[in-house]
Amino acid sequence: MSALNELANLRQVSDKGKKQNKTAFIFLAPWLAGLVLITAAPLVASLVLSFTDYPLLKAPTFNGLDNYIKIFSDKRFRKSLKVTLTYVLVSTPLQLALALAIAVLLNRGMKGLAFYRSIFYLPSLMGSSVAIAMLWRQVFGSQGLVSTVLAKFGLADPAQSWIADPKTSLVTIILLHVWTFGSPMVIFLAGLRQIPMMYYEAAAVDGANKWTQFWNITMPLLTPVIFFNLVMQIIGAFQSFTQAFVVSNGTGGPVDSTLFYSLYVYQQGFVQFRMGYASALAWVLVVIVGAFTAVNFFFSKYWVFYDD
Amino acid sequence: MIRSHSKLATALMGGLAAGLLLTACGGSAEPSSTTAASSAASTAAEVATSAAAEPITLRFIWWGNDTRNALTQQVIDLYKTTHPNITIETETADFATYWQKLSTQVAGGDAPDIIQMDEKYLAEYASQGALLDLESIGLDTSDWAEGTVDAGRFDGTLYAATFGVNAPVFLANTSVFEKAGVEIPDDTTWTWESFAEMAKQIQAAGGGEYYGVENLIGVDGASKIWLRQQGAQQFTSDGIGFTAADIQPWFEYWKQLMDEGGTAPATATIENQTTAVDQAFLGTNRVAIGFQWSNQVNAVQNASGQDILILRPPTQTGNAADGHLWYKSSMYLSAGAKTKYPEAVKEFIEFLINDPDCGAILGTERGVPTNLKVREAVAPQLDAANTKVIEFMDSIADELGTGGSVPLPGGGQSETIQRRATDAVLLGDLDPATAAEQFVTELKAEMGLS
């Protein structure tokens, strides 16, 4: 959408002078080339491939809606959808709550703010990295940090592996995701800085305590930022891949308990050589994420408050 | 008031931050040692092109570990001395990512010239026309060990040259046996039953420090031994050679052995299945016996730092002749169907397999040499660990079973499908009968069999 808007703007500019137009296009060329070659073309290609049988090593053959029909009877598709929805619906609110809490604590003009902000942002820089997911295997693995410490208090068997138990494996990945609350935190901090101090001063004069101030001033004025973070984090969570891939060694196991949607798409395409089916799965995800975002926008008018 | 608040907040932040840092330091995380392609060597080689012959660049891709990468680079450098016009560009990956890398390259029309191949994926690539017929380019196979040529055929065509030979083995960690005060059993007479008794005895002595044996319920190489001993096969030339009823006792055996305290508990076992050799139970001295392919003996021995013995897997009857073992092509060399230089590819493959100097460097790391003359020539120069492997391979020569085939396309997924079923058995979520049924049904679906 934004690309179209920008193009429309350019067209208006062109009425004023063709020269300006040309210069703008030259400057935009690298970005446009990237959009067309790296984003738009593969997007179109995958849509086309989703209507084919494409065993990766052989040329694709058109098979109509077969892939989409097959999705409905695919048990592992339903499993991956369930895993992903659980992940999105549990981890996103937790992560945003933690990010907001830390942002509010940090927003008090304390000494060394930059230092703490960096420390809390650090996990987000590393969180989606392979190294941290490897670390997660050690922390929650058999004889790992968590099991060993719990065993000291007689709460668990030291041999217990939390990542290899289908009852807890997804929880460990949700924890990993919640831990990487840095980027919404930074956005919350910026949002908090935008709220004029005079509101708080006026409230304090009227005798409102910190808690009341938070619920009646901070929260309403922050809703646009919360909404933004919610939309972005939900979309991001739907696309999670690296953590599950590394923690389960690419299998989505044990017993498909961490079979994230994008991991399943990847398995179908690159491991089981069904690129056509994988493309269809990817487009179904586009529709699901689109639906979630649309619902989000629909309900936003009931709770997001723009202080214009 | 406000001051004290912000002090409290500072303290709180400090605590939280320290907690996060501690979490980051806890656990002995080791960085994943991604196998770096030796770009330095290939750039050096590019410079030294011969004026005499046409300069040729070949791409060679393999999966492996640091040891293998170093050895392979050595033989490539050796090849360079006699073929100055040929540049070998190398690419490496670990086994799991290798297949994604290769499939993407082949699909993109950018297939390497020389491809290290595994039996799990041979049919997949051969049936799609991605590999070159090696007989059509006149590959010299005259001195190869019996059966090694045919092991590379799919539909009668030689698509893959056996690069090395190995066999399924049980590896015993002598230090764990010593600690437990249990004698290492005679592998020519032991049975699955006595094996289970031994496992329980060792685990009881370990008191949680180590387990009896590795739980092999989800290891397809090990279950293949069991199937063959039952008179079944894992794969045949037209599909799979076993039924749910054939594999069900295998699931029951390991579930029972785990419940009776002969192997690690369920979640520890499941995690161990997806752990690299050097960090898994056997390599870290936490089980007395584990399953491996014979060419992995060096890797296990290096990781554990202990003396590792090679044993025959147990049998039903206590007679090693009923072991139904087999020589497996540990890996193959294939040629990309669209290579521009089939002649140069042929010569390089022949160098890797038929040249004694090359064989002396590679040792048994990729399996025992395919070429009998190479095997003979290198045997006296090998170190103790390599000699042990060759001696074991010779000792089982009279006990081999027959039959079996490389899997049809889709069969490469067998172990993954098996583990979805066996993990559930270990966790108690599925009973062995249902799991066996699920395994066979899903495997057939993956292979397109009815």
The predicted pLDDT at position B18 comes to 42
User: Cis peptide leading into A254, omega within 30 of 0?
Assistant: yes
CA–chain centroid gap for B72, Å, is 17
Contact list in B for residue A270 (CB cut-off 8 A) is: 100, 103-104
Residue B10 has pLDDT above 60, yes or no: no
CA atoms of B422 and B216, how far apart (whole Å) = 10
Tokens of B271: 């995690």
For the cut 50, the answer to whether the pLDDT of residue B4 exceeds it is no
Does residue A242 contact residue A236 with C-beta atoms inside 8 Å? Answer: no
**pLDDT of amino acid A127:** 64
- How does residue B28 score in pLDDT terms, banded at 50, 70 and 90? very low
Q: For residue range B309-338, list pLDDT tens digits in order.
A: 999 999 999 999 999 999 999 999 999 999
CA distance to partner chain B, nearest, from residue A161 (Å): 5
The answer to whether B327 touches B249, Cβ cutoff 8 Å, is no
Tell me which residue in A105, A119, A138 faces B9 most closely, judged by beta carbons: A105
Task: Examine the pLDDT at A157 and tell me if it is beyond 50.
Answer: yes
Interface test with A, best of B2, B7, B13 (most A CBs within 10 A): B13
What confidence score (pLDDT) does residue B444 get? 96
Per residue in A55-104, pLDDT (tens digit) is 888 889 999 999 999 999 999 999 999 999 999 999 999 999 999 999 99
| Max CA separation in chain A (angstroms) | 78
pLDDT over threshold 60, residue B81: yes
Chain B environment of A166 (Cβ under 8 Å):
423, 427, 429
Q: Which fold has domain B39-165+329-391?
A: D-Maltodextrin-Binding Protein; domain 2 (3.40.190)
**Number of Cβ atoms within 10 Å of the Cβ of A290:** 11
Give the three-class secondary structure for A27: helix
What pLDDT is attached to residue B86?
Answer: 94
Phi, psi dihedral angles at B286 (to 5 degrees) = -110, 0
Judged by DSSP in three states, A154 sits in: coil
**Closest partner CB to A123 (pick from B20, B27, B128):** B20
The answer, yes or no, to whether residue B27 has pLDDT greater than 60, is no
Distance between the two ends of chain B, CA-based, in angstroms?
77
State pLDDT tens for residues B140-171. 999 998 889 999 999 899 999 999 999 999 99
Residue B6 near chain A (CB below 8 Å) = yes
Contact predicate B198/B185, CB 8 Å = yes
% of chain B surpassing 70 pLDDT = 88
- Chain B, nearest residue to A142 by Cα: B268
Interface test with B, best of A255, A258, A277 (most B CBs within 10 A): A255
Where is average pLDDT lowest: A207-216, A241-250, B126-135? A241-250
Confidence (pLDDT) at B57: 95
Query: Do B214 and B287 contact (CB within 8 A), yes or no?
Result: yes
pLDDT digits (tens, 9 = 90+) for B238-275: 899 999 999 999 999 999 999 999 999 999 999 999 88
- The pLDDT tens digits of the residues spanning A246-273 come to 888 888 879 999 999 999 999 999 888 8
Least confident segment among B46-55, B293-302, B329-338: B46-55
Q: Is 50 exceeded by the pLDDT of residue B23? A: no
Please report the pLDDT score of residue B36 as a whole number.
39
pLDDT above 50 for B42: no
Q: Rounded to whole angstroms, how far apart are CA atoms B419 and A252?
A: 11
pLDDT of residue A181 exceeding 80: yes
Q: Where along chain B do the CATH 3.40.190.10 domains lie?
A: 39-165+329-391, 168-326+403-446
| Chain B residues 191-210 with a CB less than 8 Å from chain A | 208
Contact B264 A144 (CB under 8 A): no
What's residue A81's pLDDT? Answer: 96
pLDDT at residue A22, rounded to an integer: 86
| Per-residue pLDDT at A189 exceeds 70 | yes
| Residues B111 and A56: beta-carbon distance below 8 Å | no
| The pLDDT of residue B19 is above 60 | no
b/e burial code for range B203-240 (CB count within 10 A of at least 16 → b): bebbeeebbbbbbbbbbbbbbbbbbbbbebbbbeeebb
pLDDT band at A123 (very low <50, low <70, confident <90, very high): confident
Domain B168-326+403-446, CATH among 3.40.190.10, 1.10.287.180, 3.40.50.150, 1.10.287.110? 3.40.190.10
Rg for chain B (alpha carbons), in Å?
Answer: 24
Contacts of B396 (CB under 8 A, 6+ apart): B167, B312, B320, B323, B325
Does B295 score more than 90 pLDDT? no
Find the range with the poorest average confidence among A214-218, B3-7, B179-183.
Answer: B3-7
Cβ-nearest to B267 among A56, A142, A270: A142
Read off the pLDDT band of B17 (50, 70, 90): very low
Mean pLDDT, residues B30-49 taken together: 39
What pLDDT score does B352 carry? 96
* Cβ distance of B427 and A255 shorter than 8 Å: yes
Question: How close is the nearest chain B Cα to the Cα of A247, in Å?
Answer: 9
* Mean pLDDT rounded to a whole number for chain A: 89
How many Cα neighbours within 13 Å face the side chain of B131? Answer: 30
pLDDT band at B11 (very low <50, low <70, confident <90, very high): very low
Task: Give how far A302 is from chain B: nearest CA, Å.
Answer: 34
pLDDT attached to residue B64: 86
pLDDT, mean of residues A199-215: 92
User: Which residue did the predictor score with more confidence, B37 or A141?
Assistant: A141
Residue B52: pLDDT band (50, 70, 90) is: low
| Contact indicator for B263, B211 with CB cutoff of 8 Å | yes
Whether the CB of B182 is below 8 Å from some CB of chain A: the reply is no
Q: List the single residue in A145, A249, A271 with the smallest CB-CB distance to B27.
A: A145
Please identify which residue in the block is written with the tokens 């893959």.
B160
The residue behind tokens 């081999």 is B400
Mind listing the pLDDT tens digit for each residue in B346-403? 999 999 999 999 998 998 889 999 999 999 888 888 888 888 898 999 999 888 888 7
Other C-beta atoms closer than 10 Å to the C-beta of B45 total: 21
pLDDT computed for residue A2 by the predictor: 55
| pLDDT computed for residue A143 by the predictor | 87
**Cα angle vertex A193, ends A190, A199, to 5°?**
145
* Range with top average pLDDT, A17-21, A117-121, B102-106: B102-106
Mean pLDDT, chain B, rounded, equals 87
pLDDT for B37 equals: 39
